[in-house]
Structure 1
Amino acid sequence: MSTYVIQPSAIQPSSVRSPSAARRADQVTGTVRLTRRGRLVLFLVALATVLVVGFFLGAGSVATGERGASPATEIVMVQPGETLWDIASRITPAGDDVRETMFDIKRLNALASSALDAGQRIRVPA
């Protein structure tokens, strides 16, 4: 470990400046000092610039001119005592999985659960 020692004889009187002289020297050299508010404004301007550039670059449309093939559906009224499984099993073709049809019905109607109410109208795949 080394130690650095400053001897009083090494300091020259011309190298010691008063605070006002230091400020004048900074003004002459053109040093810019930002305040807290200046740093905040600079940060917000940079953030706004990045957001604007991001919106313009990310705004490209990925849509095509073709219409999507929407699945054919029909509306069914739920009878008293009828469950989603009953409806799905009635419309599912032989050999297909009833659970997939139940999933499709829930997705078409934005259902959070499999619970249905009597008289409720739901869309089912045709």
Structure 2
Amino acid sequence: MTAITITSQPRTRLRLTARGRRVVAGIVALPLSAFVAAAVVSGGSALASRDVGADPASFSTVVVGAGESLWAVAERVAPASDPRDVIDDIARLNALDGVSVSAGQELAIPAQYAADGQ
């Protein structure tokens, strides 16, 4: 019988060069950047309004009087409701950053409160 000798080849270790690392990083970054770009394009319209779930046509308007605060407007348009809730709803509907209003400013009032004060 003849003996067969099998010699194993030495294993080579995979070494990633600087160029290879850049290629791998690019392959990983490409789908990630495509996802971010798609999210920005499709999600932009959702950020246009702070009001969630309200019908845009269901409001009336009032004009802020001289020396009147948003608290006073809330008490005037909805005397039977908690002014804090009314202020929150008015601020959301008008996309106000704070509670500062100026004389002559026209504010949209949600329909649920417009019927109370008029």
Structure 1 unaligned runs (5+)? 1-24, 57-67
CA deviations over 1:33-55 (Å, ceiling 9, x no partner): 43201111112113324565898
Matched, 1:121 2:106: yes
Change (3 A) 1:55 1:99: same
The Cα RMSD (Å) is 3.2
Amino acid at match of 1:91: V
Match in the other structure for 1:105: 90
Match in the other structure for 2:72: 86
Distance 2:23 2:90 in 1: 53
Deviation at 1:69, TM superposition (A): 4.9
Match in the other structure for 1:44: 26
Change (3 A) 1:47 1:108: same
Instruction: Flag the structure with larger Rg.
Output: 1
CA deviations over 1:49-95 (Å, ceiling 9, x no partner): 45658989xxxxxxxxxxx551611121111111111111122152x
Q: What SS does the corresponding residue of 1:116 show, helix, strand or coil?
A: coil
Distance 2:35 2:99 in 1: 45
Distance 2:74 2:20 in 1: 65
Q: TM-score normalised to the size of structure 2?
A: 0.57
Structure 2 unaligned runs (5+)? 1-8, 39-52, 112-118
Deviation at 1:120, TM superposition (A): 0.8
The count of aligned residue pairs is: 88
